[in-house]
Amino acid sequence: MLDMSPIWIPLGAILAVVIIVAVINFRKMREKELQAHQELRLREMEHDRKLKEMEIERTKLELEKTRLELEKTKVQSH
């Protein structure tokens, strides 16, 4: 028959606990890593949005400046 030493059962139980704890810790670590990547992506998207808003505002200011310059030249020519 199977010759099982009494030491194998406690070792097996301890090993099972170690594996379970390792898997749980790995999952938590992976979850934190994914959350960090998601937060970074959100910050990047917010940064891109702000850059686009600034570009739009700059274009509006340039347009207004050009419009005022045109009006000034029209007034001067009359």
pTM exceeding 0.85: no
What is the torsional sign of CA 52, 54, 57, 63?
negative
Q: How far is it, in rounded angstroms, from Cα 78 to Cα 73?
A: 9
Each residue's pLDDT expressed in tens, for the chain with a length of 78 residues: 456 778 888 899 999 999 999 999 999 999 999 999 999 999 999 999 999 999 999 999 999 999 999 998 888 876
Task: Tell me which DSSP letter residue 6 carries.
Answer: T
Q: How far apart are the first and last CA of the chain?
A: 115
